[in-house]
Amino acid sequence: MNPSHFIAPPRAPHSKKFPGLSAAVLIGTLTCLLACSPANESAVRSVSPDEITQGLSIGRNPLILDVRSAEEFKIGHVPGAILVPVDELPDRLDILREIKKEREVVVYCESGKRARNAAQILIDSDFEAVGHLEGDMAVWRKRGLPIER
């Protein structure tokens, strides 16, 4: 191919006066994106329903946090779960810190969205051991696992 077919992109007017400025802007933008983005969701451990049921049977005692509504909780919830609707979670973090006593907090909702939001709130509030129940209540119910009312 003929090199004359390629047109170099125009240079910004400041690039001749300040050659490092474009790189500085790029680095600054990337730094801001990384610093301003939510905490890494990989900090939230995926917890299987089997792990919960087996753990409950051998005395493993995570704090199981149902972040659905009170109405949903009354219909049925994971045995031993406590109810803190996701919209109330920021106001109840101090109480959760007292209750959890070095235990992992495992969150769930009906299908995942509220639980992911709750897990992010916990991570952002310096809770170190946070898990999310795989499949949430929908899968728990579908598998016929024990339900408390």
What does residue 22 show for φ and ψ, rounded to 5 degrees? -60, -45
Residue type, 94: D
Q: Name the 3-class secondary structure at 44.
A: strand
**Whole-number Å distance between alpha carbons of 58 and 47:** 16
109 flagged as catalytic? yes
Which position among 47, 67, 109, 133 bears the catalytic label? 109
Q: Per the structure block, which two tokens stand in for 45?
A: 């451990």
Q: Per the structure block, which two tokens stand in for 131?
A: 């898990």
Enumerate the active-site residues. Answer: 109
